[in-house]
């Protein structure tokens, strides 16, 4: 099946329906795709996600939102934040979905574009994306045998202790349109392009921000990322030498990199801006950077 253009796919959102028990009927299709969640009657979104499972099965993983105790972050990472909204505001939720054929990279790229478009329109992210939670609440932990054995599994709930994920996000820096290799792509002031193997000369170990990787002979990008830039670029180069690694074919010799440094961005803010970059790349080229979702 030929893949449709990304904007055409994102015009195919289903009508809104009540989230609670929507997985029990036929309103939600048994296909992979994207989904979005909002408080009933509101325009602002609380979450945008994607799944390689069926949409019906993935939304069923939010059943914990309707229980007495805050759910763990497994099987759904957004469930604790949605629970907190319901607990605090006594709100109800609605869901809308769009089936998406194709592989995980294509679907995750569309998710990034959907989030980026929303951020452009609202100047903020959906409430529960990027690990954030309503002020006054603490997230539950994940739920794994390892955490249980270590005595570190815990349920969250109301708290007066300050949490890092109460900090607000950041709006987009610039528009999504444009060539991903441009010097002011997405409104950032990018460094000049430099061979990846020479980047350590220009970067200090504590340089935090965003970066992009290209093959100068090809349009688009190989990868965009966030974090301690020098260490992240070194890690990508190391993957190029690992036989059998899924990213190895993409991180050979001759690649170039460019970056923008801002130590004031918190990690969830850098991930917001990274998502803008991925979404902008999908908008420009029809796909995510070539090595983006290969792990």
Q: pLDDT tens-digit profile of 130-150?
A: 999 999 999 999 999 999 999
pLDDT score, position 281? 98
Average pLDDT over every residue of 44-72: 98
pLDDT score, position 1? 36
Fold designation for 185-285: GIY-YIG endonuclease (3.40.1440)
- Whether residue 253 is predicted with pLDDT greater than 80 in this model: the reply is no
Q: Encoding tokens for residue 101?
A: 């054929």
Indicate the CATH number of 6-166 among 1.10.3720.10, 3.40.1440.10, 3.40.50.261, 3.30.450.40.
3.40.1440.10
Q: Encoding tokens for residue 121?
A: 């329109």
Q: Encoding tokens for residue 256?
A: 């170039």
CB 50 within 8 A of CB 102: no
Q: Encoding tokens for residue 41?
A: 């009657």
- Closest by CA to 29, choosing from 106, 103, 98, is 98
Q: Encoding tokens for residue 179?
A: 């060539």
H/E run at residue 38: strand 33-39
The reply to whether domains 6-166 and 185-285 share a CATH topology is yes
Q: How far apart are CA 44 and CA 119, in angstroms?
A: 10
Confidence of residue 67 (pLDDT cuts 50, 70, 90): very high
pTM given for the model: 0.94
- From residue 227, alpha-carbon distances to 25, 121, 207, 263 in Å are 43, 26, 8, 10
Q: Where are the domains of the chain?
A: 6-166, 185-285
């Amino acid at each position: 099946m030929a893949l449709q253009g990304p904007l055409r796919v994102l015009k195919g959102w289903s009508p809104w329906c009540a989230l609670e028990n929507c997985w029990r009927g036929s309103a939600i299709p048994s296909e992979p795709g994207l989904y979005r969640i909002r408080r009933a009657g509101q325009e602002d979104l609380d979450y945008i996600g994607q799944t390689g499972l069926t949409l019906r099965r993935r939304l069923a993983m939010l059943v914990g939102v309707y229980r007495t105790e805050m759910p763990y972050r497994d099987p759904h990472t957004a469930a604790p934040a949605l629970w907190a909204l319901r607990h605090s505001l006594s709100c109800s939720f609605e869901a809308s979905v769009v089936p998406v054929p194709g592989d995980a990279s294509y679907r995750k790229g569309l998710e990034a574009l959907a989030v980026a478009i929303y951020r452009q329109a609202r100047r903020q992210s959906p409430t529960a994306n990027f690990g954030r939670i309503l002020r006054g609440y603490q997230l539950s932990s994940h739920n794994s045998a390892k955490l249980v054995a270590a005595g570190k599994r815990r349920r969250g709930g109301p708290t007066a202790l300050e949490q890092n994920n109460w900090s607000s996000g950041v709006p987009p820096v610039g528009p999504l349109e444009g060539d991903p290799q441009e010097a002011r792509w997405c409104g950032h002031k990018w460094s000049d392009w430099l061979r990846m193997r020479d980047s350590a000369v220009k970067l200090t170990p504590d340089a935090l921000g965003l970066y992009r990787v290209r093959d100068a002979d090809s349009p688009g990008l190989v990868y965009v990322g966030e974090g301690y830039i020098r260490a992240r670029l070194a890690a990508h180069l190391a993957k190029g030498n690992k036989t059998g690694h899924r990213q190895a074919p993409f991180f050979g010799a001759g690649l170039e990199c460019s970056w923008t440094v801002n130590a004031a961005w918190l990690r969830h803010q850098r991930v917001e801006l990274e998502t803008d970059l991925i979404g902008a790349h999908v908008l420009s080229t029809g796909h995510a950077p070539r090595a983006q979702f290969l792990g």
